[in-house]
Amino acid sequence: MALMVAVLFAILFQGYVSLASDPDPVRDFCLANTDSATNIPCKNSSDATVEDFIFSGIKSHGKFSETGLASIPVNVNNFPGLNTLGMSLVRADFEAGGVNVPHFHPRATEVAYVLEGKIYSGFVDTQNKVFAEVLEKGEVMVFPKGLVHFQMNVGDKPATIVGSFNSENPGSMKIPTAVLGCGIKEELLEKAFGLKGKDISKKKKTGLQTMALMVRILFVILFIGFVASDPDPVQDYCIAVTDSETYIPCKNPSLVTVEDFIFSGLNSTGNFSETGQAVLSVNVNNFPGLRTQGVSLARADFEVGGFALPHAHPRATEAVCVLEGTFYSGFLDSQQKVFAKVIEQGDVIVIPRGLVHFHKNIGEIQGTLLGIYNSENPGKSMFPTAAFGCEVKEELFEKVYGLSAEDISKVRGKLHLCGKAEAGFN
């Protein structure tokens, strides 16, 4: 074990941390400069600290609205570390019967993960087809970019979800507010919704207090086709075809059902590895509904003392939310500077695209992380595995690491890389 640990830390501080070509953009991160007195868009990287990459504002719910919803957005406006990284998230809590009114995000796809409760969730495509179902703890639903969607707590207890977006600032257009805004002539609203001028005026004055009128308007909106211009790509969704005998990239839209947009495999722990980690990944390979949506996620459980070996995701930024436990987490930038800190339940740390990162459960109970990515298939390069692959000559490793052929063979055996494990090294 001592040899393996020494090797891992040697890997962490070697000069080949960023294995792929430069990410897009061509820097590890660009911390938004909040000093309005300067015109410099990014904070000086030499002044960056681990605190710039951690957000601790979603440990508890926010203030509930009249609809029974309390939401706390985490985007570039309140978390400068997300600047240029192309992702954000939100915590949404619902009182029993609470509603998240129909809305859409013009700049992002959303993946909603149910932490607690029962949520009736759905969206409407541009053909006015409704995809809706009751989701329970551990289930995931994807809402394609730019499409109207909604949620309601149908359980008898409070409910909580975490929503993730593949944009640092996805935007949110609430249909009731947008449609009944004072900038729109009442004549237009009368023709669009069949409402009388006095009803519209009353609605504008009382906000959301007239619930019967609100419900009527919302259900009319759900079935009209003014959602938005074509999203990017130019279709609402493209459900991946898993039949290898066909060459059709997308499932026929007429055959698509709400089940194509729901994944139910995150409500339990996977099988633990030798490092004390169990990972359940949700990407386009096992959730075809994510095809073309640019998002994915993973649940990682850790035994006490369990850890994730140093690794990187070449195609995605990752936001990690602590669901349970206490972790030592961090990453290295391409200048070999380490950003690491102890994070606890409700904390979020963002890992810029392509950078080596790690996690260790340092608490006294089993811990759980939720990883969110801005790619449907982020990829994963495990550095111990990649660095000691069987296709690389041992001579190279001897020169790079100063290890003997015997030591290299032992490391490969411990990692089960070349066919069998070395006796006495497990």
Three-state secondary structure string covering the chain: CHHHHHHHHHHHCCCCCCCCCCCCCCCCCCCECCCCCCCCCECCHHHCCHHHHEECCCCCCCCCCCCCEEEEEECCCCCHHHCCCCCEEEEEEECCCCEEEEEECCCCCEEEEEEECCEEEEEECCCCCEEEEEECCCCEEEECCCCEEEEEECCCCCEEEEEEECCCCCCCEEHHHHHCCCCCCHHHHHHHHCCCHHHHHHHHHHCCCCHHHHHHHHHHHHCCCCCCCCCCCCCCCCCECCCCCCCCCECCHHHCCHHHHEECCCCCCCCCCCCCEEEEEECCCCCHHHCCCCCEEEEEEECCCCEEEEEECCCCCEEEEEEECEEEEEEECCCCCEEEEEEECCCEEEECCCCCEEEEECCCCCEEEEEEECCCCCCCEEHHHHHCCCCCCHHHHHHHHCCCHHHHHHHHHHCCCCCCCCCCCC
Q: Look at the block and give the residue holding tokens 């207090």.
A: 209
Mean pLDDT of 152-169: 94
405 pLDDT band, cuts 50/70/90, is: confident
| pLDDT for residue 215 is more than 60 | no
Per-residue pLDDT, 388 = 65
Calculate the average pLDDT of the chain.
78
* Span 94-115, pLDDT tens digits: 999 999 988 888 888 999 999 9
Mean pLDDT of 221-246: 51
40 pLDDT band, cuts 50/70/90, is: low
Of residues 96, 140, 132, the one with CA closest to residue 115 = 140
* Span 67-94, pLDDT tens digits: 899 999 999 889 989 988 999 999 999 9
| pLDDT for residue 386 is more than 90 | no
- How many CB atoms lie under 10 A from the CB of residue 424? 7
Mean pLDDT of 220-229: 34
Per-residue pLDDT, 107 = 87
| pLDDT for residue 28 is more than 60 | yes
| pLDDT for residue 418 is more than 70 | no
12 pLDDT band, cuts 50/70/90, is: very low
Which is more confident, 309 or 408? 309
The phi, psi pair for 261, rounded to 5°, reads -110, 10
Q: Which two tokens stand for residue 72?
A: 């706390």
Global confidence as pTM: 0.75
Torsion angle (degrees, nearest 10) of CA 112, 117, 123, 129: 140
The CA-atom distances, in angstroms, between 12 and each of 255, 288, 310, 330, 411 are 48, 35, 7, 12, 16
Per-residue pLDDT, 298 = 95
Per-residue pLDDT, 270 = 92
Mean pLDDT of 124-151: 90
High-pLDDT (> 70) share of the chain, %: 69
Mean pLDDT of 147-168: 93
Strand order in the sheet with 148-153: 130-135, 119-124, 148-153, 99-104, 173-174
Per-residue pLDDT, 21 = 29
| pLDDT for residue 374 is more than 80 | yes
CB of 88 within 8 A of CB of 166? Answer: no
Per-residue pLDDT, 234 = 47
* Span 313-355, pLDDT tens digits: 888 899 999 999 999 999 988 777 889 999 999 999 999 988 8
CB of 381 within 8 A of CB of 354? Answer: no
179 pLDDT band, cuts 50/70/90, is: low
